[in-house]
Amino acid sequence: MAVPKQRHTKSRRNNRRMHLYLKDSVLIRCPKCRASLLPHTVCQNCGYYQGREVIDVLGKLAKKERKEREREIRAKKKEEKKEKPVTMEGLSRK
């Protein structure tokens, strides 16, 4: 049975364990609903992946929840459609 000849110091032990730590997970924004999600996964909020609907999220909800979610989606679309009025300064910058 192997027995160490000398004791390893704390710094030597810690240097060996230097790469053993939890890394922050990388999150991206869903292009459709702007929810945070892991890359290469279907959005659990809207059910879209790479620009097409994969999961019908509204179909799985109850009637009351579905109406609330539809209201949220309509409100987001209205916010996107609202644009600032075009001024001469804004046109000259483009």
Query: Could you tell me the residue ranges of all domains in the chain?
Result: 25-80
Residue 26: its pLDDT value, please? 93
Q: How far apart are CA 40 and CA 7, in angstroms?
A: 47
- What sign results for the dihedral spanned by CA atoms 61, 66, 68, 71? positive
φ and ψ of 40, to 5 deg: 60, 35
Residue 36: its pLDDT value, please? 93
Per-residue pLDDT of the chain (94 residues; tens, 9 = 90+): 789 899 999 999 999 999 888 888 899 999 888 889 999 999 988 889 998 988 887 777 788 888 888 888 888 888 777 766 667 777 776 5
Cα Rg for the chain, rounded, in angstroms?
26
Residue 67: its pLDDT value, please? 85
